[in-house]
Structure 1
Amino acid sequence: MQGEPEVSPENESTADAALRFSVLGPLRAWRHATELSLGPPKQRSLLALLLVQADRPVRLHRIVDALWDEDPPEHAVNVVHRHIGALRRLLEPELTRRTEARVLVSEAGGYRLNTEDEALDLLRFRRLRDAARAASAAGRPAEATGLYVRALSLWLGRTAEGLPRTAHSHTVFAGVDAEYLHAARDAADAALAAGDTSRMLPLVRQAAESDPLNECLQARLILVLAAEGMAAQALDHYQVVRSRLTSELGVDPGPELREAQIRVLRGTVAPARTSRSGDTRAADTRAAFSPEASRGAGPVAGPGAGPQAGPGAGPGTTPGVRPAQLPADLHAFTGRRAELDWMRDLLPTDGGTPAAVVISAIGGAPGVGKTTLALHWAHRNTHHFPDGQLYVNLRGYDPAGVALTPSTAICYFLEALGVPAEDIPPSLDGQSALYRSMLAGRRVLVVLDNARSAEQVRPLLPGTPTCVTVITSREQLHGLVASNGARSLRLDILTVTESIEFMAKRLGAARVAADRQAALGIAEQCGRLPLALAIVCARAEDHPSAPLADIAAELAESRDDLGVFAVGDPATDTRSVFSWSYRTLTPEAAGLFRLLWMCPPHGVSVQAVASLAGLTTAQTRPVLSELTRASLWTEPAPGLYGSHELLRTFSQELSLAEDPSEAREDARRRLFDHYLHSARGAATQLYTHREPLPLPDAAPGTQVLSFTDTDRAAKWLVREMPALEAVITRDSGHGTGAHAWRMAATLELVLDRRGRREEQIELHTTALAGAQRLGETLGEAHMHRVLGFAHVRTNDHARGAAHLERALELFTDMGDVPFTALTHRYLAFLANVRQDHREALAQYKIACSLYTSTRAYVGIASVTNEVAWTRLLLHEYEEALGDCRRAVRIAHRSGNRNIEAAAWDTMGVAHHRLGQQDEALEAFDHALTHYRALNDASLVADTLVHRGEALAVTSPQEARRAWNEALAILDVLGHAEADRLRELLEEHDEVPSRSGPVTINI
């Protein structure tokens, strides 16, 4: 353990202070020469929160949010008051009930911690940093370098290092870490300008090591190494960073890193006056990244040029993936100058509040260019967000009426940020907390496109001041403006001038100028709506010799004939424009366009479109190409197709008007068969132990994918999950229901492994309704079984029991032995949860008898282990031990490693209850070996908890290590047991003993 800080020029004035604090690294405090013990984690978190906002009031609700995130206990306020009292007694032991506190005072519905500037290292750091910046601005880089050295030397690690994850993910701590990284960057520039890099090298190296994918810091380190005469090391470090960026992010170095490399190769980095090479030439006083320096290095171009910085995680964090999800920018973007200027002013500054831009069209009219403006601004400003850009279409006004849920959107973002699907928490609150933690301290742009409501958007807002959120919506989202401080921008149609400029960019200035009056007519016929103009221009591009006057006349003539497609507002009457383009298509393309509204909105593959049309993929590609050329369909990514929502609505209206119902139904069945049969193939490849659900033959013309490896199957399921879920909701709501329950049953294990229980309940409830409407007894039985178990796992016991009893009745009537046995096991699980262990044993006995009748040895092993666990709950330890040994033998002979691991874990608990600690630890080690080989993190955590219980008897510190390891896993999973385990560790100074086992409901 470190002693008190050394008295130096930086802290000499603090040596006599009664109280001194340190938050730049581990949280510490001293009274005179004695270091203080700061109490349990929650109390230390509270002190750290007050210190990083020293001399400012911190309201009580913000304290509660920081300590418990969004899930505070009912007594949270009382706990805060208790910790405040303890801190006051610690910091001011002379206080009595009649004297007022001077250090930790009550103020403005919260608390303020008063401290002298020199008594807190963070305040000293800021004073030195600000003085250094002033010196740099005044042209005194040598003075600035000295001040930066003194400031950066105060840093010993992440801000308040060692706090619980819930508290440390708060934005105030990430903001302080960001201050450090920015100061290190500026310090390197000052040192390079002053030719004084020897003192700066270890400090810049330390900052660069804390954020290894931060390209601006790595570039500074390369230049500082070169200035110190270590050009070879500088170039080696460039290669290390380049390899890291390629392997971890899949990107090439950005311009700053490439510029640094080129300057080292060309020898244009001025050596330090006292460099390690002994060169004492005058230093180049230019900043490392000034325009002059860039010219000296020469131009940098080539593939991948552009800002490619790594994530800006704070010191000590694990760098994440740098997402780049923005769809392509529109090359012919025109106008919107005032709106772009307004949005430019929303970029975050250090310590600012998160910005949220709400872009809505007047009257909620679609097609006005909300998404185009947001993406154009985003692409122009990616350099402000070196840690990535996230994008999602929330489908708030999807023609199918299915908006993206906040949970689904957050899961997409978390997976884009590198979180494995199985590690994503099951609840929306847990997902939001993990999402905000992943963004804490990073400079990330979040684009939420096509939002339906404030409720849909609010969980997706980052909590860090370094991020900007851009939202597009037809609604004005007043709730976000009122409660979240969002800024609202109402987007109008293009002006006449902007419309003409738009056409000139697409068609050429000469062609538009040759018939400006016709161009004005086209603009008005299109309502000066960007989407409509784009469609007309695409048609005009395909016919370069056609006079604009003819196009304007065609548009004018079509308005009266196609009034059935009008939206009722002449300024936004896009249907005449869509119909005109539609009528230019070949019969094959027109027929396909009328069916495309059935496709999922997130993007569809060629195989899915081919199934819809009943064509081969070779026949489908040229038809899709025709639609994309006419701007009636787009290809946002190679091989994936989609369209604007208005065009999907238009496609649906055309289909309902022109296609026979039988043709629409045949197309829908082929599309759903494509997704259902392909999903079964992928799920069967992943879960070979589960008997695949028998399916009716796919309709003729359906393209079914085959999978030969688990990696491709898993990736396909992740990419297509929105479409697969859409099959359930759409078939239940508007189809026969036959696809819905079969898809839900196919996805049972996929959803279970992802831990999305609430989503699973919602989807299977929808599928159950479809099966019941259809009269599909087998489908109804499966849906009741899955729903029963899911409800029990979410502690809705009554509803779970009702579903399971109905499932048992149906499976029994059908004579389905395997699933009758499985339902009995689910009922036994429910009985154990209800503490009716004898009933659980009775249910297990029935299940075992059914498995024995069919010689299903894996089932027998599973039941035997579950019986052993039930005997533990009954304190029948010797009997439980015998059952465990039998389960291990059967599972081992059957080759089922998962069941064998479970039996070893249960055996360890049984040995522990019998006082046989060595045998218990050996059994737990067997279980952990199997679970780790299976990559089953949740059950690794479960076994670690049990191992900790056994270690607590003889090795309390080892027990704490096991529990802390389990807690780290549960935190990543967002598991409800994490809070119980955390409270256990926080509230007891000594390792607690427990009277019963801990069961983790994974």
Structure 2
Amino acid sequence: MRFTVFGGVSARVGGRETEFGPTRLGALLGVLLVDAGQVVGAEELVERVLGDAPPTRARAMMQTWLTRLRQTLPGLIEREGTGYVVRVDPLEIDLHLFRHLVRTGRTAEALALAQEELLSTLDTPWARHARAEFADELLAARLDHADTRLNSGEHTKLVPELQVLAAERPLDERIAAQLIEALHGSGRAAEALRHFEIVRARLANELGAEPSRHLLTLHRRLQTASAPRQLPAPPKPFTGRALELAELDQAPNGVVVITGTGGVGKTTLAVHWAHRAVARFPDGQLYVNLHGFGPSGAAVSPGDALLRFLSALDVPRAQVPHDLAGQAALLRDALAGKRVLMVLDNATDADQVEPLLPRTPDTHVVITSRTALKPAHAHSLPLGLLPPDDARELLASRIGHERAHAEPDAVDTVVRRCARLPLALAVAGARAATQPEFPLATLADELADLDAFADDDDVTADLRSVFSHSCKALSPPGLRLFRLLGLMPGSDISLAGAASLAGLEVSQTSALLAELARANLIDEPEPGRFTCHDLLRDYAAELALASERDEALHRLLDHLALTSVEAGLVFTPSRSRPATPQPAEGVVVTSFGTREEALAWLVIEHPTLMSAMAHGTPTQTWLMGWSLSDVLDRQAHYRDLLTSQQISVAALEKLDDADGLGRMLINLGRAFGRQKRLGEATAALERAFDVYEGNPAGQAAVLLNIAMLCPDDKMAEAMEYTRRGLALFEECGDHYGQANALTGLAWGYGKLGEHARAVEYAERVMPMWQAMGHVIGQAETWDNLGAAHLGLGQYERAVHAFTKSVEHFRTGGDLPLEAAAYEQLGDTHAAAGDAEPARAAWQRSLELRAEAGLATDGVRAKLQAERE
């Protein structure tokens, strides 16, 4: 026998299943099964099934139902005294089986049973109370299961589920602790710490209480664990450099510059020492590869490096200034009083590193460069070739000490031919390690033959000889892929990008990349991303055949351009798809299922796309710029936004594509506007207006963007531009454009204080957004209505509008605008004299702002003033 009380009541007896549905028989059976084995009195049965106001003949009706039920399921229900009892093994009832599974630690199985509400078809006070009590049991089981999953490392998968629970039960500290653990375990340390602050503020505001000891202990642990740990993995093996390590140990906090020729091991020394000295810097280690000697355009700008450091230090994006000097000052503030190590790897010149030097007493900076940089008060550490004994030991650690001891003369030959350069020894050692059956002397002779043409003092020639020797051992497809990797425009490449470069299947490319990694010709610093030393890249580029260079680079640029379009459309779904060419044969075009996936790809590929734009066809170039425009804007990379849009406009000027040129001129105007270069912004938009001659929708979009440039004291002028845009959108029948313009007019009238007109336009546009199903458009319109009603003193209507605005912004996933709507909702309650709901709305705005990394000072001030 099997009985179900989750959802509708059913019984399976002797292979026959009976679904009772929302019948009185089902309700009667359900209430008896909930208390299986216990006697339920007749009066209690009536109240459970019929409620606390039963009809006059309730007892007679109950007797009839009991008789029918006992006929349907003979032997199940017995009369005992003045009541009735179900005689059945409790484990045959899903509710009691659930409880047994929870008691025995099998929570996953238990939760699989409870997919529907307890007695969902019965709506009486007793049933509602029973459901509420079981909801507590179910929540406890879910949280027990969450603990199990956290212990097994399922942090990322748990975050969405715990976020929902935290929103439903914002004062539950166990849920809060689990969400904080899950966020931190997912690599989202800043969000974890912000959620703790949100919970602490809510507990203080609503209960006047401090977090529990468990939550405080967790917070202290995460504060320590969340210090930035950006160092690459320690190099293995590492040999020698005892004098240099001692010098680094003895250097006081300040700036140390390690200089030396390419391949001599500057980065290896810096990273090895940094890991060895990590205890000196408990507040974190910052690292950036500045790619100063990589391919053209791959060097990291000081501004980008600063943004990476500020992000690692959990500085909210909203607090970061747009100018380099302001960002550098903010970095100094963020590092003040902290013992932090900063490694600036592969710097090209002083101009690249000077803005990154915080000059704070407890921050220590290690710079590596091929050039003799001389920052003020810096300690210089020139790095020469490895001493002979250290070079022999490094090679032995690569090929095996037993093998090295057996052929000391061959070891000496390899060391000499590798010029005692660690990079050359690593490559040659990898070559020897892949052929353990070969005598080392044979490989040494081959290396010597290859190097016969080289001048003994020419380090570069020695390196080329070693690289050539290792390439001889590659399979023909592996050698071809290595040659082509020298063409990649950025500092690294994805698996899909490498497959497109080679014109091969992804699986085949993956195998070839593994072959190159075994030969120590490339590295995989993170899963799916591949890079190689810039000297190896230069050598690979020299090997690339003229007959394959152009087609291979075109395939890679096709991959970047077309994949970036897919990412751009998923990141901003409201954008119109630009016309794109068919991909060349062999090109992999990646698709994206979620906005988060698209954003991650755009962020990772941002430096590569910026470098690639200079190498693409005009079409490839502008498509990459178009794809980057929104993400660079929202991530506040305003310098790259301007550069990318300038390059894109120049590319489009070579094409007969008025629509594309108009789009990019609008983006260029926006980029100039972000940098407060309003004259150039206006000029770009006016040119876009001319380009769109004969295209009323395009010209209308330009007019709306010009309106956005107008400051508050020129709101009337902005309104005129918006009206002209509306007229053009109406002329061409563009309903989406009309809705945008009407929304702009409603907002503008509100800014001008003409609140009745704002209401008129908002009510006019609302049905349009609703017909389109455009959630954010509806949210903005509700927001405009709220502001207008507030301005008119219609507080009840304003509260309703802002509440709707909050709901729609939440549905649309716009955290900053949801936070702003909550703040205005709080303002409305305060204006109406309702202090408690005002505090609650401001508190929620504060939490959302903290979660989004936005400034919170204004809302905090309102909360503080209300408390006083």
TM-score normalized with structure 2 length: 0.68
AA of the residue aligned to 1:343 = L
Structure 1, residues 210-265: CA drift from partner, whole Å, max 9, x if none?
xxxxxxxxxxxxxxxxxxxxxxxxxxx999999965652359xxxxxxxxxxxxxx
What's the secondary structure of 2:692's corresponding residue?
Answer: helix
What does 1:552-563 correspond to in 2, within 5 Å?
552-561=444-453
What does 1:406-555 correspond to in 2, within 5 Å?
406-413=302-309, 428=324, 444-461=340-357, 468-479=364-375, 481-482=376-377, 486-555=378-447
Structure 1, residues 283-323: CA drift from partner, whole Å, max 9, x if none?
xxxxxxxxxxxxxxxxxxxxxxxxxxx99999899777455
What's the secondary structure of 1:478's corresponding residue?
Answer: coil
Q: 1:432 to 1:935 in 2, by over 3 A?
A: farther
Identity %: 36
Q: How many Å separate the matches in 2 of 1:595 and 1:320?
A: 41
Q: Which among 764, 768, 771 is matched to residue 890 of structure 1?
A: 768
Structure 1, residues 808-849: CA drift from partner, whole Å, max 9, x if none?
111234x3x54332112112223x328444543333233223
**Partners of 2:298 and 2:608 within 8 A in 1:** no
**Partners of 1:314 and 1:441 within 8 A in 2:** no
Q: Which among 463, 473, 477 is matched to residue 588 of structure 1?
A: 477
Structure 1, residues 891-942: CA drift from partner, whole Å, max 9, x if none?
2332222222222333333334434445445433433343344443433455
AA of the residue aligned to 2:424 = A
Gaps of 5+ in 2: 1-172, 188-214
Q: 1:990 to 1:507 in 2, by over 3 A?
A: closer
Q: 1:346 to 1:668 in 2, by over 3 A?
A: same
Q: 1:965 to 1:712 in 2, by over 3 A?
A: closer
Q: 1:727 to 1:778 in 2, by over 3 A?
A: farther
Q: How many Å separate the matches in 2 of 1:312 and 1:335?
A: 42
Q: 1:922 to 1:378 in 2, by over 3 A?
A: same
Q: How many Å separate the matches in 1 of 2:834 and 2:323?
A: 33
Q: How many Å separate the matches in 1 of 2:398 and 2:543?
A: 28
1:736 equivalent to 2:617? Answer: yes
Q: How many Å separate the matches in 2 of 1:648 and 1:834?
A: 53
Q: How many Å separate the matches in 1 of 2:780 and 2:833?
A: 24
What's the secondary structure of 1:812's corresponding residue?
Answer: coil
Q: Which among 798, 804, 816 is matched to residue 685 of structure 2?
A: 804
Q: 1:318 to 1:528 in 2, by over 3 A?
A: closer
Q: How many Å separate the matches in 2 of 1:463 and 1:928?
A: 45
**Partners of 1:865 and 1:883 within 8 A in 2:** yes
Q: 1:939 to 1:241 in 2, by over 3 A?
A: closer
Structure 1, residues 696-739: CA drift from partner, whole Å, max 9, x if none?
011011112222333433333333333233322x33xxx43321
**Partners of 1:901 and 1:928 within 8 A in 2:** yes
Q: Which among 745, 748, 761 is matched to residue 626 of structure 2?
A: 745
Q: Which among 583, 604, 609 is matched to residue 493 of structure 2?
A: 604
Q: 1:398 to 1:768 in 2, by over 3 A?
A: same
What's the secondary structure of 2:653's corresponding residue?
Answer: helix
What does 1:671-750 correspond to in 2, within 5 Å?
671-728=556-613, 730-731=614-615, 735-750=616-631
What does 1:326-405 correspond to in 2, within 5 Å?
326-345=231-250, 355-361=254-260, 365-385=261-281, 389-405=285-301
AA of the residue aligned to 1:864 = L
**Partners of 1:424 and 1:972 within 8 A in 2:** no
What's the secondary structure of 1:888's corresponding residue?
Answer: helix
The CA deviation at 1:971 is 8.7
**Partners of 1:891 and 1:897 within 8 A in 2:** yes
Q: 1:322 to 1:459 in 2, by over 3 A?
A: same
**Partners of 2:819 and 2:846 within 8 A in 1:** yes
Structure 1, residues 460-491: CA drift from partner, whole Å, max 9, x if none?
45677665443322233312x43xxx433222
Q: 1:960 to 1:643 in 2, by over 3 A?
A: same
The CA deviation at 1:792 is 2.5
What's the secondary structure of 1:747's corresponding residue?
Answer: helix
Aligned to 2:777: 899
Q: Which among 454, 459, 463 is matched to residue 574 of structure 1?
A: 463
Q: How many Å separate the matches in 1 of 2:237 and 2:551?
A: 40
The CA deviation at 1:325 is 3.9
AA of the residue aligned to 2:473 = T
Q: 1:438 to 1:316 in 2, by over 3 A?
A: farther
The CA deviation at 1:805 is 0.9
**Partners of 2:316 and 2:853 within 8 A in 1:** no
AA of the residue aligned to 2:381 = L
Q: How many Å separate the matches in 2 of 1:978 and 1:569?
A: 60
Q: In the comparison of the two structures, how many residue pairs are matched?
A: 667
The CA deviation at 1:445 is 4.1
1:843 equivalent to 2:721? Answer: yes
**Partners of 2:286 and 2:343 within 8 A in 1:** yes
**Partners of 1:424 and 1:754 within 8 A in 2:** no
The CA deviation at 1:774 is 4.8
The CA deviation at 1:617 is 1.6
Aligned to 2:706: 827
Structure 1, residues 168-222: CA drift from partner, whole Å, max 9, x if none?
xxxxxxxxxxxxxxxxxxxxxxxxxxxxxxxxxxxxxxxxxxxxxxxxxxxxxxx
The CA deviation at 1:327 is 2.9
What's the secondary structure of 2:292's corresponding residue?
Answer: coil
**Partners of 2:315 and 2:334 within 8 A in 1:** no
Aligned to 2:20: none
What's the secondary structure of 1:598's corresponding residue?
Answer: coil
**Partners of 2:340 and 2:362 within 8 A in 1:** yes
What's the secondary structure of 1:707's corresponding residue?
Answer: coil
- Larger of the two Rg values belongs to structure: 2
AA of the residue aligned to 2:344 = L
AA of the residue aligned to 2:496 = Q
The CA deviation at 1:373 is 1.0
TM-score normalized with structure 1 length: 0.59
Q: How many Å separate the matches in 2 of 1:780 and 1:740?
A: 12
Aligned to 1:768: 649
The CA deviation at 1:628 is 1.9
AA of the residue aligned to 2:184 = E
Gaps of 5+ in 1: 1-236, 252-309, 348-353, 992-1002
Q: How many Å separate the matches in 2 of 1:239 and 1:827?
A: 48
Aligned to 1:666: 551
**Partners of 2:561 and 2:621 within 8 A in 1:** no
Identify which range, 858-867 or 948-957, moves more after superposition.
948-957
**Partners of 2:746 and 2:758 within 8 A in 1:** yes
Q: How many Å separate the matches in 2 of 1:954 and 1:431?
A: 41
**Partners of 1:857 and 1:894 within 8 A in 2:** no
Q: 1:370 to 1:241 in 2, by over 3 A?
A: farther
